[in-house]
A = this chain, B = another copy of it.
């Protein structure tokens, strides 16, 4: 009897005991599908992540899953592996499962009609880490300009004037903002970035590797290189190691995004850290608020922006000769 198990309605001690005993005896577990069909709520949250093998996203997923289960929701984890087609299918799946809400880290390449499909969602959704143009959803992101600026201020303070950036396409808002912040911070000190030091087409580790090799081989080698995300940092570090350069004596390096092994290797890598735990918490908090007040989107859209921070370790130091400009 549902009243007994769910604690709704009034049931005598004795009956309750009998029901519970029988339930245990039979190994009874409530049928979630039937419940969902009847009640209209699935108590399932969708987690649609662009790439779960990215350690940064994994940290988010881990924290998100924890929070969700604490709140009594289960999570269907969908990994798009940066493939738009998989993302589309995964969205369809969550639609079918009648998820109560969704957290979306969108893929970089989008499919036709994505915005349209997202605006018509029958459940609340929130964007995490990456915002989408033309979609005024709740979102939790970091201040990417500030991330760039933090790195720039640190390098400038050390005396670096010839600095290089390894990044993906400036078409991507995140990369662009990080570069802008970096550039602007230097500019505020009267230092202007040499454009040929900005490697803009590093879309993956291999490309970052080649970009770093090019930078290292230049006669006017920069005194510091920054990689704008953890994938690119991997390629950069490999190139630096291959070249036999001594860090930070010959070259300072740093990255945006921390990685668990950045303080295991020597020299330990200086980074700009994203507050992943806080991002996950705020994100889940906000989503659950929407889910619980399921009376449509009466609440105003929230665009939560958190602040990254600088973590100085050993891979950055004063350049040997603070040459011209």
Contact = CB atoms under 8 A, between A and B. Distances in A.
Interface of A: 27, 29-34, 36-37, 42, 52-53, 58-59, 61-62, 65-66, 69, 74-79, 81, 86, 89-90, 92-93, 95-98, 120, 234, 237-238, 241, 259-261, 263-266
Nearest to A99: B32
B29 A92 contact: yes
B74 A75 contact: no
Given A234-B264, A238-B264, A29 B65 contact: no
Contacts of A265: 237, 241, 261, 264-265
Most buried by B among A78, A81, A263, A264: A264
Contacts of A30: 96
B52 A42 contact: no
Number of copies: 2
Contacts of A89: 69
B27 A37 contact: no
B79 A76 contact: no
A58 to B, nearest CB: 6
Contact of A96 (B29, B53, B120, B266): B29
Contacts of A90: 69
B34 A62 contact: no
B98 A86 contact: no
A96 B65 contact: no
Contacts of A260: 234
A42 B53 contact: no
Contacts of A78: 65, 69, 74
A25 to B, nearest CB: 12
A120 B28 CA distance: 11
Contacts of A92: 29
A77 B98 contact: no
A261 B34 CA distance: 47
Contacts of A34: 33, 37
Contacts of A238: 263-264
Contact of A77 (B77, B86, B95, B241): B77
A61 B238 CA distance: 27
B86 A69 contact: yes
A31 B27 contact: no
B241 A95 contact: no
Contacts of A259: 261
